[in-house]
Amino acid sequence: MMDLKLQSMEQKIYNSQRDLHEAQIGKIQAAATENFNFKRKGNEAQFKFNNSVIEKLVISFYKYGKRKITQDRSRALQSITL
């Protein structure tokens, strides 16, 4: 009974976090596509670098995120049973 409640709660948290993540990524990507005029080259270089990091984080989340969450959940359940 407790396992079902815990799994249900974990699923709800995971879904809400995923939805928030997708909304934030959408806002970030929309901001990245806007054309900005920079006064200094260094600011432009930092902006481009930040965008490349964000793209890599998004790819890694979709590639590894779900697997990591299930592994963390199983580890947490194991520690609770000990």
Matching residue, tokens 């590894």? 64
Confidence of residue 55 (pLDDT cuts 50, 70, 90): confident
- Highest-pLDDT range among 12-16, 65-69, 73-77: 12-16
Q: Would you give the end-to-end CA distance of the chain in angstroms?
A: 18
- The reported pTM is 0.46
The DSSP secondary-structure symbol of 36 reads -
- Alpha helix segments (H runs only) across 1-82: 2-33, 41-60, 66-81
What percent of the residues of the chain are helix, what percent strand, and what percent coil, each to the nearest 5? 90, 0, 10
CA atoms within 13 A on the CB side of 74: 6
